[in-house]
Structure 1
Amino acid sequence: MTTREVLSVSTGRATSDGAGVSLTRLFGGAAPERFDPFLMLDEFGSDNPDEYITGFPAHPHRGFETITYMLEGRMRHEDHLGNVGLLESGGVQWMTAARGVIHSEMPQQEHGAMRGFQMWLNLPAKNKLDEPSYRDFSPAEIPRITLPSGVEAVVIAGQLCAEGVTQAGAVQRPDTEPQLFDLCLPAGTRLRPQVSDGQRVILYVFDGELMVGGQRLAKNQLARLSDQGELELSTSSGARVLFLAGRPINEPIVQYGPFVMNSREEIEQALRDLRDGVFTH
């Protein structure tokens, strides 16, 4: 039986984004093809308001989807489409920027912890100029299950199949077929989630430690796995893991800041559209 191997292990780098929000960029920027169809993964987490209070004032996106998973805290979304939403602890914001969205994400608290993840998911060329859309999911709308082994799973996107249980997530997407889970493995447990051959798998351990194919992953380590074979996760002391999987698009990726297209010419067009005030039309 072929098992998935760990191809690379990395830790994020401290940076800031928006109007000065402190965060850790786990991947993104250089060589995004390694993580295709995912473009970026950021972790934010602080109980110091000075590190998050300035938020993310109005800014544009084109060509991909953004997914924000809030572990703790409250963030208000507004966009040019007239959408207004409040992302609360345990909730998810899923925005398909496609042709273009101008939005803001601003904290709705002046003290306490603000903690979560934002990831960027690419769109295939055929969908990059589609109509944009936005959806907030409250915690109650996102399936949360406990498997027979005691493993707890928040099933945000795709479908979790393990231990004779199948649970569909809140979001389903064609083409990239994303699977996005928050997994909590108690000490002494193992999990064999079913993942189709050809799907890229990325694991981020944000608490405890995890064993994958005989390799130990410590807290704050991110692993990129091979694209074929069975997958087994285990832990002796307990772990909490952000699980990302998706089908690579295998198209050229050209990124300039908040725009991700397939060619430099399309990036230049996005910049002209923004300059000329027709970005969202």
Structure 2
Amino acid sequence: METTILKRELINIKTTVAHQGFMGHDHTARSVIQDEFASSDPFILLMDDFLDKKDTEPVGGPHPHAGFETVSLLLEGEIGDETHMMQAGDFQIMTAGSGIVHTESIEKKTKLRLLQMWLNLPKKDRWATPRVQDLAFGSVPKISENGLELRLYSGEMAGLKSPVQNHTPLIVAEIHLEPGIVTRQQLNASYNAFLYVVDGSIEVGDSREILNENQVGWLGRSAEKDESELVLTGGKSGGKVVLYAAEPQNHPIVSYGPFIADQEEEIKDLYRDFRHGKIGHVSALPAAQRFSY
């Protein structure tokens, strides 16, 4: 019997709202994920941070994480220090796992735009050994043809495969379409997936529903692990969109501050370990826990 392929259509559209971020008046933040975790699983949060720093007053600082992964895509500018610097188009997954401290301190004048997600870990990998994976812009697998440019940062898609290793099956792709150009891509039907337009507009699905800049659109899905098809069309002036798709983990989490856990007692333990200096800094990770592609 012939299998019917699920066509991915938009089921929810939300417009992100800019507000002042924690780094002061030069920092604008947009919350891209605004749903309860049961609906967004395995995506915990995603922030679109824009910083146009016009002075040399230090902002940010060291802070801990545990129980999840940060997934960072730098759209513009540069961020980091002399030990590690991310440039525009670079990608990073930091597995906080059992616990890690990292520093996001910025002292110089700078202008940058960063998408940073918190991604849930499978329960069996909640306390995984911390690691950092960096994928440089020049090494990102890509397709560039006939008005379509697709860069694959994580997972497998469009005949491409990212070198990044995943605990939670995850696709992250940046797709740029010229006006009217159509692309049809295959996704696992069970993956929870959404689109975030970072420039211009796109039309989604066979219904060609419009998704504009700074809008996030969640896609319908199936519980079956079959293939599904996502159809995207470039809007009137073209569009650039970031696709996030991942396998839901289907277990509840406890979230408090910088930590994710399975039980509240584990959150208390993490705060105690941090106060007592038992959570190491990312700069001290051995070479075996650092990957550069």
Matched, 1:103 2:108: no
2:233 is aligned to: 234
**Where do 5+ consecutive residues of structure 2 fail to align?**
223-227, 282-293
1:193 is aligned to: 185
**TM-score of the superposition, structure 2-length normalised?**
0.83
Q: For 1:205, which of 188, 192, 197 is the aligned residue?
A: 197
The alpha carbon displacement at 1:173 in A equals: 1.3
User: Helix, strand or coil for the counterpart of 2:115?
Assistant: strand
Residue identity matched to 1:102: V
Find the aligned partners of 2:105 and 2:247 in 1 and give their Cα distance.
32
Tell me if the contact between 2:133 and 2:164 (Cα under 8 Å) persists in the aligned partners: no
Find the aligned partners of 1:172 and 1:234 in 2 and give their Cα distance.
30
Tell me if the contact between 1:57 and 1:105 (Cα under 8 Å) persists in the aligned partners: yes
**Where do 5+ consecutive residues of structure 1 fail to align?**
79-83
Matches within 5 A, 1:257-272: 257-272=257-272
2:279 is aligned to: 279
The alpha carbon displacement at 1:62 in A equals: 0.4
Tell me if the contact between 1:146 and 1:152 (Cα under 8 Å) persists in the aligned partners: yes
Q: String of CA shifts for 1:56-79, please: whole Å, max 9, x gaps.
A: 31000001111211122121169x
1:225 is aligned to: 219
User: Helix, strand or coil for the counterpart of 1:193?
Assistant: strand
User: Helix, strand or coil for the counterpart of 1:188?
Assistant: coil
Matched, 1:33 2:38: yes
1:59 is aligned to: 63
Tell me if the contact between 1:33 and 1:253 (Cα under 8 Å) persists in the aligned partners: no
Find the aligned partners of 1:135 and 1:151 in 2 and give their Cα distance.
27
Q: CA 1:108 to 1:194, structure 2 compared with 1: closer, same or farther past 3 Å?
A: farther
1:81 is aligned to: none
Choose between structure 1 and 2: higher strand proportion: 2
Q: CA 1:211 to 1:133, structure 2 compared with 1: closer, same or farther past 3 Å?
A: same
**TM-score of the superposition, structure 1-length normalised?**
0.87
The alpha carbon displacement at 1:275 in A equals: 2.6
Matches within 5 A, 1:80-159: 84-107=83-106, 109-111=108-110, 113-147=111-145, 149-159=146-156
Tell me if the contact between 2:152 and 2:172 (Cα under 8 Å) persists in the aligned partners: yes
Find the aligned partners of 2:140 and 2:132 in 1 and give their Cα distance.
16
Residue identity matched to 2:174: D
2:250 is aligned to: 250
Find the aligned partners of 2:84 and 2:22 in 1 and give their Cα distance.
18
Q: String of CA shifts for 1:129-182, please: whole Å, max 9, x gaps.
A: 1210113322222223214x4210111001122xxxx111241314x2100011
Greater mean deviation of Cα atoms: 34-43 or 4-13:
4-13
Q: For 2:161, which of 160, 168, 171 is the aligned residue?
A: 168
- Percentage identity across paired residues of the two chains: 33
Tell me if the contact between 1:74 and 1:109 (Cα under 8 Å) persists in the aligned partners: no
User: Helix, strand or coil for the counterpart of 2:267?
Assistant: helix
Tell me if the contact between 1:182 and 1:240 (Cα under 8 Å) persists in the aligned partners: yes
State the Cα RMSD in Å: 2.3
Matched, 1:45 2:44: no
User: Helix, strand or coil for the counterpart of 2:187?
Assistant: coil
Residue identity matched to 2:104: E
Q: String of CA shifts for 1:34-76, please: whole Å, max 9, x gaps.
A: 11111111112243436x9744310000011112111221211
Find the aligned partners of 1:139 and 1:235 in 2 and give their Cα distance.
23
